Amino acid sequence: DGSVIVGTSDRGGAYRAFVIKFNTSDNTKGPMLDLGVLGTDPGFESWANAVSADGSVIVGNSFDGNDQNAFAITYDKATNTAGEMVNLGALISGNISSNALAVSADGSIIAGQFYNGTSRHAVLWVDPFTDPYMVDATEWMQSISGPSGILPIVTSLTSMPMEGAHHRPLITLDAMGKTSQAWVTGDFGARSRTSDSHTTTGEAGISHTFGNVLAGLAVGYGVQNNDLLFDGASHVSGQYILGEIDAKLSDNQGIISLTTMFGSWKSDTLRGYGIQSGLTDYSQGSTNLNSASVRLRFDGPSHKLAGGPFVTPFASFTWTRVAAEAYNESGGSFDAQFDAQEHQSREVRLGLSSKFLLSDKTTLLATAEWIHRFDKTESGFSGTDIDHNALPFDVAGAAITANQARFGLDVDHKLTSNTMLNFSVHAAGVGPSADVSGALSIRRAF
């Protein structure tokens, strides 16, 4: 209400934080009160930067004999007296300097910054006079990118079977003289350039051929583990069902295939962030997600290169939707609430495959493809810290690498007349697809 004014005054060569009462009804002021300094040397200086709504808490910074450090101090307007300065900078490990710049209406939360010798970090101090603790707000805001990443995590988890055991139409596999096949498959993938993650999926499936049409159905389970900032981690796991229909066009003019995949997932995230004395605090949360993917693919007719192998062009379009429920974290000094999230991705792939007959039992398939993502950024995310509502966030999604190249090798080897072993390995440039991935399948024809 304008009844308490704080600032800094030059006391003949030394700056001092002050507070002064002001009567808005008759424009009169009381005596100026020197708030003192951190430390004992009267030559030390202090600056007052902000005051709470009722004038009871004043914050600023002062030299304490070693560094410039943030302070908080209580003020009694009725008696025009101040309490003892609390050194907020003492809560920061390895602090070089700190400054308190703002205070909440009730004086319970103080905002400022500190300099650690290389960079400035935003910081919050909570309950400065009773049980003071702090959170590195810069690291806290960085840490929420971990839980926000569950949508791209599930998108990549969903793509693993479609880039692995189902990266080519089922109808292109050797039927081994039968009309039906059953299989078990394991896929794996790893990233280390844009994230640190490991993905594994496993499935069992069956297919049947009806003339020029093949229909297949598989059920599977997938897991992805990710290392996050500040020693955090996430674990996503769940089940999926995958269906595929392939049709050979007349006169060997190509293959059209439609693949759909639906998944139900659970994400468990441990989020780390910096607090006082250089320690790391952790909050954890869980949420449920669902995913749906549809891929339409066309494999053109094969063409024999002059003096070389047959080459088959292919093109595909994939649409994926991933949605996560809203959830609250628990534990830690600054646990967060995350709003519901949803993202839809769209990609096109253009590629070539070439088949080499190594023996009457073994075939090698080489592929090269270009991947383009039409969604330029991940979906944004929003929420706030639960206990204080001091760190609300509404953050735009991270940029997506639009173009990526991917190369692979497949080996199909007949173990018996009706049993086949398939192995594939892929490597990709920087982008949404895994840096390296592979798949191993056993197929039985009947």
Place of tokens 């949360």: 285
331, two tokens: 């534990």
Secondary structure (DSSP) of 236-268 = EEEEEEEEEEEEEPGGG--EEEEEEEEEEEEEE
pLDDT on residue 130: 87
Residue pair 239/219 in contact by the 8 Å Cβ criterion: yes
Domains, in order of start, for the chain = 4-131 (2.120.10.30), 147-445 (2.40.128.130)
Q: CA torsion 29→34→35→38, rounded to 10°?
A: 160
pTM, to two decimals: 0.86
Residue pair 356/363 in contact by the 8 Å Cβ criterion: yes
* Tens-digit pLDDT string for the chain (446 aa): 889 999 999 887 789 999 999 888 888 888 999 999 998 787 889 999 999 999 999 999 998 777 889 999 999 999 999 999 999 987 777 667 899 999 999 999 999 999 878 888 999 999 999 888 899 998 898 888 776 678 888 988 899 999 998 999 999 999 999 999 999 999 999 998 878 899 999 999 999 999 999 999 999 999 999 999 899 999 999 999 999 999 999 877 899 999 999 999 999 999 999 888 888 999 999 999 999 999 999 999 988 887 778 899 999 999 999 999 999 999 998 999 999 999 999 999 999 999 999 999 999 999 999 999 999 898 889 999 998 888 899 988 888 999 999 999 999 999 999 999 999 999 999 998 999 999 999 999 99
CA triple 75-80-86, angle to 5 deg: 30
Residue pair 178/418 in contact by the 8 Å Cβ criterion: yes
136, two tokens: 């590195």
Choose among 349, 351, 352: nearest CA to 372.
349
Measured between alpha carbons, how far is 40 from 43 in angstroms, rounded to an integer? 9
Measured between alpha carbons, how far is 8 from 318 in angstroms, rounded to an integer? 63
pLDDT on residue 95: 62
Strand partners, 406: 369, 428
Choose among 114, 120, 80: nearest CA to 100.
114
Residue pair 281/287 in contact by the 8 Å Cβ criterion: no
Measured between alpha carbons, how far is 143 from 335 in angstroms, rounded to an integer? 11
Q: Identify the burial level of 119 via C-beta atoms within 10 angstroms of its C-beta, where 0-12 means exposed, 13-18 middle and 19 or more buried.
A: exposed
